[in-house]
């Protein structure tokens, strides 16, 4: 190759910040063919590719990128799909900077290869142009049935893999739409719902049946599913339980959990009210408490719903923020303001019970805690008032207790997550496997998928030996 290799990634075209806060369309527009091929050319096609070690599902990165170089996009996608059923999703929301791209050799002396953007490009290429050859192949039917509970990335992946291995798979999903957080949580402007839907349709094409509006633990328990003739069960019910702060005034109107705020907007499409009938109310001054991905999503959503000021209020400093760097930058570009080393201790409302303000206290950073992050310590006497008319609590989510509570012999940790064998996802109950956020607590899409894959393999082994 004669060209000089650029030290920086090819930038991805994005919607202008001023314009994008007026709509819910996707912010990052994706590479076109030219940009994709140019970026692919940066890859060294390493003999011993470090990048693959950073990917929880071991996508054959150099191979798929080589095929992009050659313009064989569908072949490239087929390569990715040997390991990853949801590339259009992962290419968009994987924290690549901590995973594949973190290990890319080019990262030592410049930007790593934009692996995520390339993955997204080939996946979108297929979604746009369609593919004539089936990118997913199926084994002969085994005659055995597997029940998958929850249709988030963990459940979808387990279901897709098991279907490919010849199992007859049924997914049971509590909501009216499959997809889990991909559908109800992550906003349209970061992960368009039709992209997720197309990925789900592909899994359906493998013969997976999806029963929506089916709450396991209510309509049927895990034991009842096993008694009904399912040979194995995979639990992927996620971490959907929102945490509150337990401070005075928290139940005032206008104080939402991030889950409610995002579900009303994404799943119920309240941004298109009254064409869609579910309402959402956003005032002029919105405070989002917390600084993870969920908080960034909420703060950016608030702007799009008409907030004049959207604040992130966080107890620590920018350095400790758990959100992806890229999301913090996007939020800043759009005008989200950051109030750091601060947290509310009480909310106040008017006669109608609507929040009008909060008492905040200032913090300073003290000694590092168990997680290695410096512990925030409240500063005595630093209380002050802040006027707000909408508050979104993005303090994290716990495991959904419905299935654990109704499955007596399932071993649960003190955090409420399901205890599994690390390598297989096997629970304490024979034939029952679990993975994703219900096992790890709130984590990432790709880790949930990795867990779904592992469990699918283990379920296959279990059922073969039975």
Partner 1 sequence: MHKVVKKEIISETIKLLEVEAPLIAAKARAGQFFILRLNERGERIPLTIADQDQEAGTITTIFQEVGRTTRELGKLEPGDYIADLVGPLGVPSEIEKYGRVVCVGGGIGIAPIHPIVRDLKKAGNEVITIIGARTKDLLFWEEKLAALSDRLIVCTDDGSYGQKGFVTEMVGEVAAEGKIDRLWAIGPLPMMRAMAATTKPLGIKTIVSMNPIMVDGTGMCGACRVSVGNETKFACVDGPEFDAHLVDFDLAMRRLQYYREEERIAAEAGNCGCGGGCGCHR
237 binds ligand SF4 (CB under 6 A): no
Strands 342-349 and 355-368, bridge-based pairing: antiparallel
Note whether 114 and 181 are within 8 A (CB). no
Name residues whose C-beta falls within 8 Å of residue 224's C-beta, 6 or more positions apart in sequence: none
The option from ligand SF4, ligand FAD, partner 1, none interacting with 352 (CB < 5 to 8 A, set by class) reads partner 1
The option from partner 1, ligand SF4, ligand FAD, none interacting with 219 (CB < 5 to 8 A, set by class) reads partner 1
The option from ligand FAD, partner 1, ligand SF4, none interacting with 278 (CB < 5 to 8 A, set by class) reads partner 1
119 binds ligand SF4 (CB under 6 A): yes
Element holding 451 (H helix, E strand): helix 445-465
Helix axes 193-205, 115-129, angle to 10 degrees: 70
Between CA 210 and CA 273 the distance in angstroms is 28
Between CA 418 and CA 441 the distance in angstroms is 9
Name residues whose C-beta falls within 8 Å of residue 70's C-beta, 6 or more positions apart in sequence: none
Between CA 88 and CA 124 the distance in angstroms is 6
Site string for ligand FAD, 292-331 (x = CB under 6 A): -xx--x----------------------------------
Give the 3-state secondary structure of residue 122: helix
Q: How many CB atoms lie within 10 A of CB 253?
A: 13
Between CA 316 and CA 338 the distance in angstroms is 11
Q: CB 455 → ligand FAD: shortest distance, Å?
A: 11
- Could you say which of 49, 91, 217, 425 contacts ligand FAD (CB under 6 A)? 217
Rg (the chain; Cα; Å): 23
- Could you say which of 21, 36, 67, 115 contacts ligand SF4 (CB under 6 A)? 115
- Give whichever of 103 and 256 is closer to partner 1, judged by the CB atom: 256
Kindly identify the residues of this chain, within the stretch 399-418, that bind ligand FAD according to CB under 6 A: 400, 402-403
Kindly identify the residues of this chain, within the stretch 277-296, that bind ligand FAD according to CB under 6 A: 293-294
281 binds partner 1 (CB under 8 A): yes
151 binds ligand FAD (CB under 6 A): yes
Residue 246: left (phi > 0), alpha (psi -120 to 50), or beta? left
Q: Give residues in contact with ligand SF4 (CB under 6 A).
A: 43-46, 49-51, 55, 57, 59, 61-62, 84, 90-91, 94, 96, 99-100, 104-106, 112-113, 115-116, 119, 446
Q: Give residues in contact with partner 1 (CB under 8 A).
A: 174-176, 184, 212-215, 218-220, 240-242, 244, 246, 250-251, 253-254, 256-257, 259-260, 263-264, 268-269, 273-279, 281, 352-354, 400-402
């Amino acid at each position: 190759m004669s060209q000089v290799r650029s030290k920086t990634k090819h930038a991805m075209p994005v919607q202008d910040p001023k314009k994008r806060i007026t709509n819910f369309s996707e912010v990052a527009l994706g590479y076109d063919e030219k940009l994709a091929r140019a970026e692919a050319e940066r890859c060294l096609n390493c003999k011993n590719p470090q990048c693959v070690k950073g990917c929880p599902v071991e996508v054959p990165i150099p191979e798929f990128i080589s095929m992009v170089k050659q313009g064989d996009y569908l072949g490239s996608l087929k390569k990715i799909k040997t390991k990853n059923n949801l590339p259009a999703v992962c290419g968009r929301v994987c924290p690549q900077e901590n995973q594949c791209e973190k290990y890319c050799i080019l990262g030592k002396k410049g930007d790593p290869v934009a692996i995520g953007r390339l993955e997204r490009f080939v996946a979108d290429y297929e979604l746009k142009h369609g593919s004539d050859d089936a990118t997913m192949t199926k084994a002969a039917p085994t005659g055995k049935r597997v029940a998958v509970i929850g249709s988030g990335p963990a459940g979808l992946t387990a279901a897709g893999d098991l279907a490919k291995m010849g199992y007859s798979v049924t997914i049971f999903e509590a909501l009216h739409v499959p997809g889990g957080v991909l559908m109800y949580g992550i906003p349209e402007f970061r992960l368009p719902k039709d992209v997720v839907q197309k990925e789900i349709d592909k899994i359906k094409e493998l013969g997976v049946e999806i029963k929506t509006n089916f709450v396991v633990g209510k309509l049927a328990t895990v034991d009842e599913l096993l008694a009904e003739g399912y040979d194995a069960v995979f639990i992927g019910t996620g971490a959907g339980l929102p945490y509150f702060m337990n401070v005075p005034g928290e139940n005032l109107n206008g104080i939402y959990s991030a889950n409610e705020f995002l579900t009303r907007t994404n799943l119920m499409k309240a941004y298109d009210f009254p064409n869609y009938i579910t309402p959402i109310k956003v005032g002029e001054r919105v405070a989002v408490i917390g600084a993870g991905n969920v908080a960034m999503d909420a703060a950016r959503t608030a702007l799009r719903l008409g907030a004049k000021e959207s604040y992130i209020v966080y107890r620590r400093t920018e350095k400790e923020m758990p959100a992806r760097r890229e999301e913090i930058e996007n939020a800043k570009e759009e005008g989200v303001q950051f109030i750091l080393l601060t947290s509310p201790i009480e909310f106040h409302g008017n006669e109608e019970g609507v929040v009008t303000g909060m008492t905040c206290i200032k913090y300073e950073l003290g000694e590092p805690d168990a997680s290695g992050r410096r512990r925030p310590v409240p500063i005595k006497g630093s209380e002050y008032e802040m006027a707000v008319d909408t508050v979104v609590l993005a303090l994290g989510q716990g495991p959904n207790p419905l299935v654990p509570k109704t499955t007596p012999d399932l071993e649960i940790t003190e955090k409420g997550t399901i205890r599994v064998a690390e390598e297989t996802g096997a629970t304490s109950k024979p034939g029952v496997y679990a993975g994703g956020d219900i096992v790890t607590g709130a984590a990432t899409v790709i880790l949930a998928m990795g867990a779904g894959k592992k469990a699918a393999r283990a379920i296959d082994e279990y059922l073969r030996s039975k």
